[in-house]
């Protein structure tokens, strides 16, 4: 087993301008623990990102609850995710696992007891399960009340709309639709997300604008208009996530963690922020 270097990312810094309400939730992080290796098909792990590391970031940002998402690096090996949930504890942590169409029901029962509440669908390089297997996975997780977390390049949403409309459980459109590169807020492909949100079982996650933005932070002026339109349209089904530890970008483009939270000051009103950070995660994840 290859030795993975310890974390060198900045964990501390100035606090965000946004004063978070009690129960504030980070709905998207990844953790990389000692003793777990990258699996074939996924990217390599450049350095560790442990529960202890994240707790420092969590304290800096004023967050209390967290949703740990299975990284692409681990593919179908959810071991580090389950260990992370055990360390964090059921009162403050939930998980999104990678579920294959042939995952035994007994495994799903065990994962549910550990705090898993969703299955990851990734139609971008490195994803373990794509939309081709999405409906088979949905049939497995639906009895547990889990949701799907779906990520794709929003520029090609027309390729996915029909399959998304067939989903019967709740599902998250991840990373603000992840339009790469961004489109105008009035683009028909943003209209398609609005239509999906209006069907009642789709959620939007504000997360990692830096991965799609060509203008960069702290304002992300090319991604912000999309986010503002979608948040205003469905604040009762919008979530926020930091995407820590930001493994999708090189260190030279590493974003400031407080900046990732402070985008909500411009993209969501104070009543909406209460929903996004506290009420919506509590409802979807059962906090």
Residues recognised as catalytic: 243
Q: By the 8 A CB rule, do 168 and 137 touch?
A: no
Of 230, 236, 151, residue with least CA distance to 190: 230
118: three-class secondary structure by DSSP: strand
Residue 155 CA to residue 214 CA, distance in Å, equals: 15
Closest by CA to 177, choosing from 189, 167, 165, is 189
Percent of the chain with pLDDT over 90: 97
Residues in the chain, total: 287
Residue 195: the pLDDT is 98
Question: Is the whole model's pTM more than 0.95, yes or no?
Answer: yes
| pLDDT confidence of residue 2 | 67
Whole-number Å distance between alpha carbons of 121 and 6: 29
Domains of the chain (ranges plus CATH)? 25-285 (3.20.20.140)
- 181-238, pLDDT tens digit by residue? 999 999 999 999 999 999 999 999 999 999 999 999 999 999 999 999 999 999 999 9
| 94 conformational bin, left if phi > 0, alpha if psi -120 to 50, beta if neither | beta
For the chain, percent of residues with pLDDT exceeding 70: 99
Rounded CA-CA distance 125/175 in Å is 15
Q: What is the three-class DSSP state of 117?
A: strand
Burial of 12 (0-12, 13-18, 19+ CB in 10 A): exposed
């Amino acid at each position: 087993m290859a030795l993975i270097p310890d974390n060198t990312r900045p964990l501390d810094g100035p606090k965000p301008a946004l004063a978070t309400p009690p129960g504030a939730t980070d709905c998207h992080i990844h953790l990389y623990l000692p003793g777990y290796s990258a699996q074939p098909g996924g990217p390599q792990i450049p350095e560790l990102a442990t529960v202890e590391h994240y707790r420092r970031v969590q304290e800096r940002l004023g967050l209390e609850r967290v949703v740990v998402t299975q990284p692409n690096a681990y593919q179908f090996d959810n071991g580090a995710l389950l260990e992370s949930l055990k360390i964090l504890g059921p009162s403050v942590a939930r998980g999104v696992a990678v579920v294959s169409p042939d995952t035994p029901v007994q495994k799903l029962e065990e994962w549910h007891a550990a705090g898993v509440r969703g299955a990851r669908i990734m139609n971008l390089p490195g994803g373990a399960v794509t939309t081709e297997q999405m409906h088979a996975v949905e049939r497995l997780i639906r009895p547990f009340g889990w949701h799907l977390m779906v990520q794709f390049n929003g520029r090609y949403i027309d390729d996915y709309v029909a399959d998304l409309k067939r989903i019967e459980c709740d599902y998250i459109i991840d990373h603000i639709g992840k339009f790469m590169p961004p489109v105008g807020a009035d683009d028909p492909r943003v209209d398609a997300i609005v239509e999906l949100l209006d069907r009642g079982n789709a959620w939007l996650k504000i997360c990692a604008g830096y991965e799609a933005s060509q203008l960069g932070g702290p304002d992300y002026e090319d991604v912000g208009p999309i986010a503002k339109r979608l948040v205003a349209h469905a604040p009762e089904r919008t979530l926020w996530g930091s995407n820590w530890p930001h493994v999708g970008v090189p260190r030279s483009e590493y974003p400031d963690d407080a900046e990732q939270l402070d985008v909500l000051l411009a993209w969501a009103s104070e009543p909406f922020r209460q929903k996004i950070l506290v009420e919506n995660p509590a409802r979807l994840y059962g906090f």
